[in-house]
Chains A and B, each alone.
Chain A
């Protein structure tokens, strides 16, 4: 029995503070000016994408005690940009990453409820957690949360926010000018939450928004993160963009849903995906190599090696051989404010492996970093990329992808113009929006 073709979900990640963003390209524009966001959002909406996605970081990254200066630095406030984008778009979903550690439920709930009202039901919240005292130095409470409690706080934060969203049922505003009744119930918005992390009560002051609640995203990959997603999230922003890893992740997470009384279609799995698009496959291969070289300058290659070595390697020549000293596994890590440093669990083994690779291929430090770094998820002509994306989705490696272009703000233009029409011809991607809210686009039920 053949099942019907799955419809592909597509979204656009604004290329800002990522190490995949190429700022040195002459076409690269501002990651701050609003015109960049308008260009990017309008391209995504023209292509009928489900949503735009914004990442967040609440402290500038540091390495060796200094602000990291080689990648894009600086970004606007997530909520404020999304609210402004609601004015220049009409259907596009607006997804913001908001940290549950350095915020309070009452404030975040009123911001998301407001964004949902102001966008006519297009808001989504990527719930992330953090625990580090480094970021905490920017906030009143500091780094107050033990690492093992971050998911328990995030879960309770989200549950509390849901209690606030649900404290208005949606029929309270009567506004009957003749009788003089504005709200139907004097206790509209009443709530009380007494838990381990939050002990709050009173009245929520934003009436129920068009979607009831924002769409909930989750991005963590740990066991706890996957459980959290299976229990609470409407969509996952995952990192497993290859076919095999994607299928394994997809199977694992979807199989958890039944235990939480949910159906497989209640949770959308949307990996981040980079791409190199050109007229022909051969040109795209060439472009992919060129983008990798732009992403990894000599200075970036040295800094990248420092993640593993945990030593100041600034004296090394990026065009020369790898260091023959071993990584420092004793000292506190010199890179702060980024997740990447946790990727190398055995730095000495990684260093040994890299030295062998470099020797066998006659690679310099920069060559090694370019060649061991992530290749773009999709490389090819429009036909090749459309076919590959469709194949991945039909093979249950994903429900769709959150595309991460490497150029701000025009990096999505070619995809919108050349790849999307092919997916539409194949009947696997919408030719127009069928609904008005993000829940409509993603085929999610409205919460009761």
Chain B
């Protein structure tokens, strides 16, 4: 096999606190006291950019982190508290030049009008590198932070009432993204004309009401912010089952999924592609990335030992929705290429300890993949859509010329 025969894969990292292991903040490299400073986040994203990664995602929620999925906890031994992800991305944008910036937004309690202009603005300030990761919130405690809806306590994901409730949240999310997308198109690219002769600043025929009316809300438009440089910044979501796969199929550009082996990856891809056909989007590009939690060390066994040491500090073995990998960069490269053969187009790596495993990705895994011809050696595009191989999209409201 020659070095150039491999198909390049795409790599993102997911940034959250000091890393994905709950005891990660106790590592000497972790910088837990810097978590609420711009410098901390700038250093992480700069490291990721030095490794030529496609993008970073920034986790967020509308309530403190918790060891329970659906309720707060009273733990004092883990990182609690965080900064708004969209604003953190905006703070980093002027300090970086190539890497995509994909903050998380909770759709359940927020206004699509506000987030549409926020992501459009992130795209303007970053020169076309914005994306968004959307997520729902079914947590009753987060609903109580807004006081506008009362959520039922979830009994179990096989309970029919729960399924209806969650299905409704995902339908709302699809509407929310639809509003974002329409608002991004509500200004045509050439709407601003500055015509001194007639005194007109804009050609108002190129601004459009979106007139969205859904079951959960209606939004008139147009946006107050002109169309972002990318036209449509990529929309992403994490998905673990049929309801979120359907959301990906209907509205997303990238889905993050959590198969634990190649067989499961094939099954997930089959289901997502079927949903895509059902949604009438079979011919539109939809990247599917696998999420992996990574512990990386140069010598065999060292990563597993490190995980064991962190588990002991945490008082319990670390478990994740995603596959937890421990090993060397070369072993991880083997695994990623095996996964890639199933049809996955990229990976979102969740570093167990950011201060350790992020540099291990950028300085260990990336050079290994480059040697195999499976990763870029320089940024080939200046926008996130460009890095993802997505064309500049036509505006849904523009009349064909």
In the complex the two chains form, is B25's CB within 8 Å of A74's CB? Answer: no
A57 and B83 CA atoms in complex are apart in Å by: 25
Mostly, the A contact residues are loop
In the complex the two chains form, is B84's CB within 8 Å of A72's CB? Answer: no
A185 and B74 CA atoms in complex are apart in Å by: 9
Minimum C-beta distance from B135 to chain A (A): 15
Question: How would residues 353 to 378 of chain B score, 1 for a CB under 8 Å from any chain A CB and 0 otherwise?
Answer: 00000000000000000000000000
Interface residues on B, range: 35 or more
Q: Which of A134-142, A352-360, A417-425 contacts B (4 or more CB under 8 A)?
A: A134-142
Minimum C-beta distance from A58 to chain B (A): 6
Minimum C-beta distance from A163 to chain B (A): 12
* Residues in A lying within 8 Å of B, measured CB to CB: 23-24, 32-34, 38, 57-60, 66-67, 69-77, 79-81, 83-84, 86-88, 102-104, 106-107, 110-111, 114-115, 117-120, 137-140, 168, 173, 175, 177, 180-189, 198-203, 205-207, 209, 297-300
The 10 closest A-B pairs by CB, nearest first: A299-B199, A137-B220, A83-B90, A80-B121, A297-B199, A186-B74, A114-B84, A175-B32, A77-B121, A200-B147
A11 and B196 CA atoms in complex are apart in Å by: 30
Of B25, B91, B202, B226, which contacts A177 at CB under 8 A? B25
Q: Is the CB of B187 closer than 8 A to any CB of chain A?
A: yes
* Residue of B81, B202, B222 with most partner-chain A CB within 10 A: B81
Q: Is the CB of B313 closer than 8 A to any CB of chain A?
A: yes
In the complex the two chains form, is B64's CB within 8 Å of A60's CB? Answer: no
15 contacts between A and B (CB under 8 A): A34-B125, A70-B199, A75-B224, A80-B86, A83-B87, A83-B90, A87-B94, A104-B146, A114-B83, A115-B87, A186-B74, A189-B81, A200-B147, A209-B36, A300-B199
Minimum C-beta distance from B204 to chain A (A): 4
In the complex the two chains form, is B124's CB within 8 Å of A34's CB? Answer: yes
A31 and B74 CA atoms in complex are apart in Å by: 47
Q: A173: which B residues are within 8 A, CB to CB?
A: 32-33, 35-36, 81
A32 and B225 CA atoms in complex are apart in Å by: 8
Minimum C-beta distance from A27 to chain B (A): 13
Q: B33: which A residues are within 8 A, CB to CB?
A: 173, 175
In the complex the two chains form, is A84's CB within 8 Å of B202's CB? Answer: no
In the complex the two chains form, is A188's CB within 8 Å of B80's CB? Answer: yes
* Residue of A67, A201, A300 with most partner-chain B CB within 10 A: A67
Q: A175: which B residues are within 8 A, CB to CB?
A: 25, 32-33
Q: A209: which B residues are within 8 A, CB to CB?
A: 36
In the complex the two chains form, is B219's CB within 8 Å of A139's CB? Answer: yes
In the complex the two chains form, is A199's CB within 8 Å of B147's CB? Answer: yes
Q: Is the CB of B144 closer than 8 A to any CB of chain A?
A: yes
In the complex the two chains form, is A182's CB within 8 Å of B95's CB? Answer: no
A11 and B394 CA atoms in complex are apart in Å by: 41
